[in-house]
Structure 1
Amino acid sequence: MPSPMIPFPRRRRLLQGALAAAVAPALMFPASAATGWPQKAVRLIVGFPPGSSPDALARTVADPLSQALGQPVIVENKVGAAGAIGVSVVAKAGDGHTIGLTGNGPLTTARLLNPATPYDVARDLRPISLVASSPFVLTGSMDMPATDLRGLLAFAKAQGDRLSYGSVGPGAGSHLAMELLKTLTGIQAVHVPFPGFPQVATALMGKQIDLSFMIPSVAAPQAKSGRLRLYGVSTAAPFAAFAEVPPIQSALGSKQAFDVASWNAIVGPAGMPAPVAERLSEEIARILKAPDVRQRLFDQGWQALGTAPEALSRQIAQDTAMWGDVIKRTGVRGE
């Protein structure tokens, strides 16, 4: 039998309690931490479960990073609150040897969706490096009459609220991306949340929903088998892994900006010395330039990045502003 639903107010209290327990006042890094660092094993915290995309990215980076640093880099999964628990662990870490890899949500929208999130990205974290990015792919069931992007947008607008779209939960990137598209185009499709992208794909193939912004690794196999149709990528530039799928921006006109990506990044506690963060960003960039690593990520639907801390800071600020506007205009709430 399915588990009974926990009432929303109680779920919010449970979430707030879990997050509060995860964050304690952080100890500062010792002043000598930048000299001869690291002096012991480095913890790489991932706020998502084993087998998830962030977990796979962390394990791709961990082995070569341990070789570069001369100390083990140990991946630890601290799951909960859509990744915010893992970031909370990093924010409070004071051992001088804890960093974290996370998706963009905990760094951009977590606090916008839940003001009780007990860390402030600008105050409690030090950016280190962007790791990889990927577009969402606007995906439809094979039952949709439109076969191209412009036709789809025209058809969806004409249907009013008779169409539905799936996401992996309120406030998730797949949800916010569609809400942004709805704002720009006048589409009124109704939101249907699911636990994960495999369930979204199943619902699309079963014609229980009509559309979704999906991650490439889930959408591509079903499209190749002829069970789903790919209409457009969410980034303004074409994506190499889907060269035949146009950017959604191309159908909107120059006055409407639509440039949305899912990305993962590595951060440390705010007390991490700048030289340590800079060394880590340099090592991560070197790892992500390796042809075998880039190909492995490409095969999973990712574009390898590797950036300076300042580039990650800019990305966080840019996306926080963009999604803050969407959340304010649409009234989206997280669970």
Structure 2
Amino acid sequence: MPTTRRRVLGTCAAGAAALLGWPAAAQERAVRPAAAAPLSGNWPAKPVRVLVGFPAGASPDLAARAIARPLSQLLGQSVVVENKPGASGNTAAAEVAQARDDHTLGALINGNLTIARLLDPKLGFDPEKDFAPVGLIGTAPLVLAVSEQAAGNNPAELLLWARNRGADAKYGTPGNGTVGHLGMELLKMRTSIRAEHRPFSGNPKVIEAMLAGEVQMALLPPGLALPHIQSGKLKMVGITSPERGPLTGDWPTLREAEVRGSDLEIWTALAAPATMPPAAVQKLNAALSQVLRTGPVSQDLLKAGWQARAGDAETLARRMRSDTSRLGGVIMMRGIKT
């Protein structure tokens, strides 16, 4: 069996074991390979490109633009955001992975940096081998929202309704293998609900389907869900983050509703090709951390639907390993394919 396939299956199996409560069989593998050649001269020596795999105005794009100007001021070179939409962000991720100019970065989402190859073994990059993690930019919970057709006034009653409906209950996602899809399958494993999956071409289409009564449940980004919850057209069951935060105010977590093991966040992060010199990665991380701790940038991120998360490169690497293992277990146990 090829080495890559063995590693992919091993990652999935480790995640599946964790979901079942089995002990880990081995230590986590480092995301980044051996260090590249040392930095020569001063970096950056020319403008830095930050590739975003989504159109202008999408939340990952807004996150990248929130940090671009202050980063350029600290680095002494222009930081230019370029939109390369396609394949749920994987088009941009592949270009970043293959870049060799030491001045091409990616503002990538967790799907690109974790489960992409688990869902598509023919993908043109391997998140584990081809990226040097720089640092998280922002995180956000998902909101478990239900339509007016769902009965109940609290999480326990709503989940009981879903259990009683079985496969007659439908949930919508922005596509197979998305975090919303994997999160709902994880929730089904933890709560014994059996809602049927209906994929759509993006979360706005999911909301349209909920309002039309085609599906009754979804895990949605807070910014998209909020207007419909405030209008009373959708109901909020809980958020998937471990604790409440500024994005969702006093909305309760699913953990508070005794839904254990369903913690999940979406996130966006800055990543470089694995060949980026370590000194450049370190300099980038220091600049990014400084930028994320400023009030104007954190406020811009909140408006874009993200909570700023400053941290070192190893924090991002741990998040990549954890999500790959956990969501890989869901992919393996539920037989999910794109």
Could you say which TM-score interval applies, normalised by the shorter chain?
Answer: 0.7 to 0.9
Cα distance change, pair 225–277 in 1 and its aligned pair in 2 (3 A): same
- Change in Cα spacing, 1:125 to 1:263, as seen in structure 2 (3 Å) is same
| 1:107 Cα deviation from its structure 2 partner | 0.8
User: Are the equivalent residues in 1 in contact too, given 2:38–2:278 (CA < 8 A)?
Assistant: no
Which residue, 218, 225, 241 being the options, matches 1:212? 218
Assess if the C-alpha contact under 8 Å between 1:29 and 1:95 holds in 2: no
Aligned pair partner of 2:250 in 238, 244, 254: 244
8 Å contact from structure 1 (residues 137, 231) kept in 2: yes
Q: Which moved more, 1:99-108 or 1:199-208?
A: 199-208
Per the TM alignment, residue 226 of structure 1 is displaced from its structure 2 partner at its CA by 1.8
Return the offset for 1:30: 6.8
1:107-136 CA-partner distances (Å, limit 9, x unpaired): 111101001112122221100000000000
Alpha-carbon contact 1:65-1:287 (below 8 Å) kept: yes
**CA distances 1:304-335 after superposition (whole Å, capped 9, x unpaired):** 0121110000000000000011001000111x
Deviation string, structure 1 residues 172-226 (Cα, Å, up to 9, x no partner)? 0110000000011111101111111111111111211101000011001111122
What value does the CA root-mean-square deviation take over the aligned residues? Answer: 1.5
CA deviations 1:30-53 (Å, max 9, x no partner) are: 7544x3111101010111111111
Structure 1 CA distance, aligned partners of 2:186 and 2:54? 25
**Is 1:96 the counterpart of 2:112 in the alignment?**
no
Shift, 1:142, TM fit? 2.1
Greater mean deviation of Cα atoms: 238-247 or 276-285: 238-247
Which one of the candidate residues 184, 201, 206 is aligned to 1:200? 206
Larger displacement relative to structure 2 (200-209 or 236-245): 236-245
Q: What stretches of structure 1 of length at least 5 have no aligned partner?
A: 1-27
Residue in 2 aligned with 1:310?
314
Q: What count of residue pairs does the alignment treat as equivalent?
A: 304
Give the drift of 1:83.
Answer: 1.0
Between the aligned partners of 1:153 and 1:306, the Cα distance in structure 2 is 35
The 10-residue stretch of structure 1 (108-117 or 197-206) with the greater mean CA deviation from structure 2: 197-206
Does the alignment pair 1:105 with 2:120? no
Distance, in Å, in 1 between the alignment partners of 2:69 and 2:295 is: 16
Contact 1:233-1:239 within 8 A present in 2 as well: no
| Distance in 2 separating the partners of 1:150 and 1:237 | 19
Alignment correspondent of 2:17: none
SS in 2 for 1:133: strand
Q: Does 1:228 align with 2:234?
A: yes
Larger RCO of the pair (alpha carbons < 8 Å, separation 6+): 2
- Are 1:30 and 1:96, in contact at CA under 8 Å, matched by a contact in 2? no
TM-aligned CA deviation for residue 240 of structure 1: 2.9
2: distance between equivalents of 1:244 and 1:67? 36
Q: State the 1:242 CA deviation.
A: 2.1
Q: 2: CA distance between counterparts of 1:37 and 1:49?
A: 29
Structure 2 equivalent of residue 44 of structure 1: 50
Question: In structure 2, how many angstroms separate the alpha carbons of the residues matched to 1:65 and 1:31?
Answer: 22
2:287 corresponding residue in structure 1: 283
**Hey, what's the Cα distance between the residues in 2 that align with 1:97 and 1:162?**
51
Deviations 1:219-257 (A, max 9, x none): 01111122211110011212333233211122236xx32
Instruction: Tell me whether 257-266 or 140-149 shows the greater mean CA deviation.
Output: 140-149
Structure 1 residue 168 corresponds to structure 2 residue 174: yes
Shift of the 30–313 alpha-carbon distance from structure 1 to 2, 3 Å rule, reads closer
2:189 is paired with a residue whose SS is helix
Q: CA deviation at 1:72?
A: 0.8
Q: Which structure 2 residue ranges, 5 or more long, are not aligned?
A: 1-34
Alpha-carbon contact 1:29-1:96 (below 8 Å) kept: no
Secondary structure of 1:248's counterpart equals: coil
TM-score (norm 2): 0.87
Q: C-alpha offsets along residues 246-281 of structure 1, whole Å, 9 cap, x if unaligned?
A: 11122236xx32210000001001111111111111
Among 319, 328, 333, the residue aligned to 2:332: 328
